[in-house]
Each structure stands twice: as structure tokens, then as C-alpha cells.
């Protein structure tokens, strides 16, 4: 792909912009749920009551998958000799793996 590094840079910064508020929201939700002493059943009842929860967490998963895979590719390129198409495909595979695992969790609360 032409200008791959530039567009990966844009995707990395863009996904970070999405992640920053979502991480804070996620931490807030954890503190709220734990502090309020909600049971698993109560939590699920709330997340299943609105499409907003799976939508927000779906976005979170997508941003984390993109951000994590780009970062991992950079780290591998800096700390090993692995370069080229095979590494790019492996990073793409890592995006799909994170998406699969994350969206599986999202469907469980939807």
C-alpha cells in the first residue's frame, strides 16, 4: 500500500483519540459497578436494556484492536529483524484476533 506508514500513523492517532475517553468511561463503569455492589445478573440486565452499551463497547474493541496491532507492529520492527509483507499480514491477523475476542465479549453483554 502506498504511504502505508503515514496511514498507519493516522489510524494510530485516530484510534487513540477514540480510546482515551472510552478507557475513562470503562474505568468509571467498573468503579460504579463494584462500588455499588451490583451482581453479575444486575449488570447484564442493565447492559442488555440498551443498544448503547454494546455499541460503545464494540467501538472500544475496534479502536483497541487497531491501536494495539499497529503498536505491536512498531515494537516488533524495532526489537527484531522481522519486516515486510509477512509482518504486515501478521499484524492484520492480530487485529482480527482482537476483534474476534473482543466482539465475542460484546455479544455476551448485548
Q: Which residues bind other proteins (CB under 8 A)?
A: 3-6, 8-10, 77-79
Q: How far is the CB of 50 from other proteins (least distance, A)?
A: 36
**74 in Cβ contact with 32 (< 8 Å):** no
Smaller CB separation from other proteins, 6 or 31 = 6
Smaller CB separation from other proteins, 1 or 40 = 1
Smaller CB separation from other proteins, 13 or 104 = 13
Contacts of range 87-91, beta carbons closer than 8 Å, 24 or more positions apart: 88/4
The whole-angstrom separation of Cα 77 and Cα 83 is 6
The whole-angstrom separation of Cα 33 and Cα 53 is 14
Q: How far is the CB of 91 from other proteins (least distance, A)?
A: 15
Amino acid at each position: 500500500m502506498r504511504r502505508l506508514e503515514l496511514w498507519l500513523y493516522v489510524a494510530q492517532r485516530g484510534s487513540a483519540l477514540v480510546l482515551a475517553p472510552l478507557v475513562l468511561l470503562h474505568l468509571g463503569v467498573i468503579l460504579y459497578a463494584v462500588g455499588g455492589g451490583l451482581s453479575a445478573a444486575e449488570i447484564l440486565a442493565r447492559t442488555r436494556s440498551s443498544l448503547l452499551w454494546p455499541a460503545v463497547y464494540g467501538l472500544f474493541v475496534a479502536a483497541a484492536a487497531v491501536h494495539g496491532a499497529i503498536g505491536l507492529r512498531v515494537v516488533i520492527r524495532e526489537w527484531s529483524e522481522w519486516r515486510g509483507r509477512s509482518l504486515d499480514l501478521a499484524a492484520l491477523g492480530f487485529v482480527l484476533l482482537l476483534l474476534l475476542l473482543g466482539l465475542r465479549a460484546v455479544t455476551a453483554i448485548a
